[in-house]
Structure 1
Amino acid sequence: NQGRVVTAGGNPVQPTITIPNNASGITVNEQGQVTVTLPGSSSNTVLGQIGVTRFINKAGLQPVGSNQFVETTSSGTPQDGTANSEGYGKITQGSLEQANVDVVSEMSDLIAAQRAYEMNAKVISAADQMMQSTTALFR
């Protein structure tokens, strides 16, 4: 209701971009440039650029929930840049990023791991029984 461009979670993008009440035709290109059509204007008006940041060690970022992360010493310092340039992702308006996990593949890997665990448990049980039998023979 304040006209600010926000994330799906309601957090304002950085830097803050505000859409005028009378704007129409809001678009965001692959570089993160936000443009609108204003009344009485024949061309699009650029309102701002959505910032993107990368880290040398993404695995070093600390998750804080809601798909948000905090910089740590192991993640390295943030490197700000422009979307759709080398090393930075592109922005796609009106899209929702899907999970990067193949559920079917992960489920079959989980089943295979469970079966391997069961087989190892049976081997350990059989070895234990053999040790008990061997111990009983020497008594």
Structure 2
Amino acid sequence: MNRTMFTATNTLSQLQKQMDLISNNLANIDTAGYKRREASFTDLLVQEFRNQPNDALEPANRLTPFQIRQGNGARLGQIQLNLTQGNLKTTDRPLDTAFTAEGQFYRTMVENEDGSADMVLTRNGALYLTPLSDTETMLVNSDGHAILDDNNQAITIAGNVKSFTINQTGLLTAERYDGTSQQVNLGVAIVNKPQFLEQKGANLLGLPENLAALGVTEGEVITDLTGPLRNQIAIQQGVLEQSNVDMSKEMTDLINVQRSFQFHSKTITLADQMLGLVNGIR
């Protein structure tokens, strides 16, 4: 009975994590560029108990394993990032953009409390301008983090801008009222191995700190689309990519997880009742 309770308890904690994952997907259903995460389960270590001192005693015609194998529950084996394309929503705003190819992300710089900065990735193409001085502004995302160019430098726009144009390969052209213009390439990277990316808060993704211990390099996980590779970039101006979360699927998964959670909770209750009956035997 104790083993039954341990097995159910181990699985309950993992089911709770899956419910949190589904809840996070549902909470970001209206977040532009959000990519849903999916959980997959694996079995915990299975133990084998030999109930015969000699394997030679095993009947020749037995169809099932001779030993008794008992599991210890299940755990989350992997949380996968689903990079499928989301639907496009037309906004006609010049600084609203959306990738029309899977796996492409803007490079963004996030400043930490200690003054350091980390490079992260975002699929949210809602861009804005924040003033640096009376004559200079910086291109940022909806959270105020700087958008980087193809040299991984923050993009600053000088002068009084009249209009913005962003072409398919991510070339931003700022037309000023005096007739001059400024051009800059938006920093874009493509993700080769999304399983190595971590959530860095909000709608941001980044590399884990133990990347070297995982046996991969940054170049194997993400590739900067610079030089001739910029022809692979696919950006559309005046639209935003919606999240790829399917509410009906998420709700179905949530109901299934809740039923599994109730089943394992009932298992603990029944095991406790059986233990009470055994202890009550005189």
Place the TM-score, normalised by the shorter chain, in its bin.
0.5 to 0.7
Deviation at 1:59, TM superposition (A): 1.8
- TM-score, normalised by the number of residues in structure 2: 0.38
Asked if 1 retains the 8 angstrom alpha-carbon contact of 2:162 and 2:176, the reply is yes
Residues 1:48 and 2:184 are matched in the alignment: yes
- Aligned match of 1:113 in 257, 269, 282? 257
Q: What's 1:26 paired with?
A: 164
- TM-score, normalised by the number of residues in structure 1: 0.67
Work out the CA distance in 1 between the residues paired with 2:145 and 2:273.
60
Residues 1:37 and 2:170 are matched in the alignment: no
Work out the CA distance in 2 between the residues paired with 1:66 and 1:128.
42
Deviation at 1:47, TM superposition (A): 1.4
Work out the CA distance in 2 between the residues paired with 1:130 and 1:22.
78
SS at match of 1:92: strand
Deviation at 1:31, TM superposition (A): 1.6
Describe the shift of the 1:121–1:59 C-alpha distance in structure 2 as closer, same or farther (beyond 3 A): same
Deviation at 1:40, TM superposition (A): 4.9
Describe the shift of the 1:84–1:128 C-alpha distance in structure 2 as closer, same or farther (beyond 3 A): farther
Specify which structure has the bigger relative contact order, considering alpha-carbon pairs within 8 angstroms and separated by 6 or more residues: 2
Q: What's 1:65 paired with?
A: 201
SS at match of 2:241: coil
Describe the shift of the 1:36–1:124 C-alpha distance in structure 2 as closer, same or farther (beyond 3 A): closer
Deviation at 1:9, TM superposition (A): 1.5
Single out whichever of 119-128 and 49-58 deviates more from structure 2: 119-128
Deviation at 1:132, TM superposition (A): 8.9
Describe the shift of the 1:116–1:30 C-alpha distance in structure 2 as closer, same or farther (beyond 3 A): same
Structure 2 unaligned regions, length at least 5: 1-130
Counterpart residue identity of residue 61, structure 1: L
Q: What is the CA deviation profile of residues 65-117 of structure 1, one whole-angstrom value per residue up to 9, with x for unaligned ones? A: 132333242463241105661xx5x3333443322211222112211332355
Describe the shift of the 1:9–1:92 C-alpha distance in structure 2 as closer, same or farther (beyond 3 A): farther
Work out the CA distance in 1 between the residues paired with 2:231 and 2:256.
39
**For the aligned residues, what is the CA RMSD?**
3.3
Structure 1 unaligned regions, length at least 5: none
Counterpart residue identity of residue 137, structure 2: G
Q: What is the CA deviation profile of residues 105-135 of structure 1, one whole-angstrom value per residue up to 9, with x for unaligned ones? A: 21122113323554566678779989999xx
Q: What's 1:12 paired with?
A: 146
Describe the shift of the 1:84–1:119 C-alpha distance in structure 2 as closer, same or farther (beyond 3 A): farther
SS at match of 2:224: strand
| Structure with the higher strand share, 1 or 2 | 2
Q: What's 1:102 paired with?
A: 246
Q: How many residues align?
A: 133
Describe the shift of the 1:125–1:50 C-alpha distance in structure 2 as closer, same or farther (beyond 3 A): same
Asked if 1 retains the 8 angstrom alpha-carbon contact of 2:138 and 2:157, the reply is yes
